[in-house]
Amino acid sequence: MIDTPCQMPDLTPVLKVIPMPSDANQYGDVFGGWTMAQIDLAGAVLAHKATRGRVATVAVNTMQFHQPVSVGDIVSFFAEVERRGNSSITIKVQMYAERHPANPVTVKVTEASITYVALNPDASKRQIPAA
């Protein structure tokens, strides 16, 4: 597949990671389940901060895989609040890969919208605090 170069958002990433060979599928590309787990973690970082406490993922609203991720890519995750509800918060996560260090290129690989519910220590839902 031909890389489509792009710029990363002008934001601080919530997470940066390099996939390892153990994260690849039988074809050598990074396994989609690994990508989904990292996206969920990245969204949870912002959801946790924005709601000031425990959260649980309640829905993956959308998830688009634009380009494959390769072992050794430097993968950055950017998160933004899409919607604040009463007990829920929806986070948009964008995932970019920097690859080919000798001839660097940045590509947008995946994006998702995930809803988290703010929880009390006993796992009941709670009102999210004002922004």
Ligand X SMILES: CC(C)(COP(=O)(O)OP(=O)(O)OC[C@H]1O[C@@H](n2cnc3c(N)ncnc32)[C@H](O)[C@@H]1OP(=O)(O)O)[C@@H](O)C(=O)NCCC(=O)NCCS
Q: Tell me which residues touch ligand X (CB under 6 A).
A: 56-59, 85-88, 115, 117, 125
Dump strand ranges (E) for 1-131.
15-17, 55-65, 74-84, 88-99, 105-118
Q: Which is nearer to ligand X, 4 or 64 (CB)?
A: 64
Q: Which is nearer to ligand X, 6 or 56 (CB)?
A: 56
User: Considering the complex, what minimum distance in angstroms separates the CB of residue 58 from ligand X?
Assistant: 5
User: Considering the complex, what minimum distance in angstroms separates the CB of residue 60 from ligand X?
Assistant: 9
d(Cα 54, Cα 76) in Å, to the nearest integer?
A: 23
What single DSSP character describes residue 67? S
Q: Which is nearer to ligand X, 64 or 127 (CB)?
A: 127
| Nearest residue (beta carbon) to ligand X | 85
Q: Which long-range contacts (CB under 8 A, 24 or more apart) does 17-26 make?
A: 17/75, 18/72, 18/73, 18/74, 18/75, 19/69, 19/70, 19/71, 19/72, 19/73, 19/75, 20/71, 21/71, 23/71, 24/71
Q: Which is nearer to ligand X, 59 or 105 (CB)?
A: 59
User: Considering the complex, what minimum distance in angstroms separates the CB of residue 33 from ligand X?
Assistant: 12
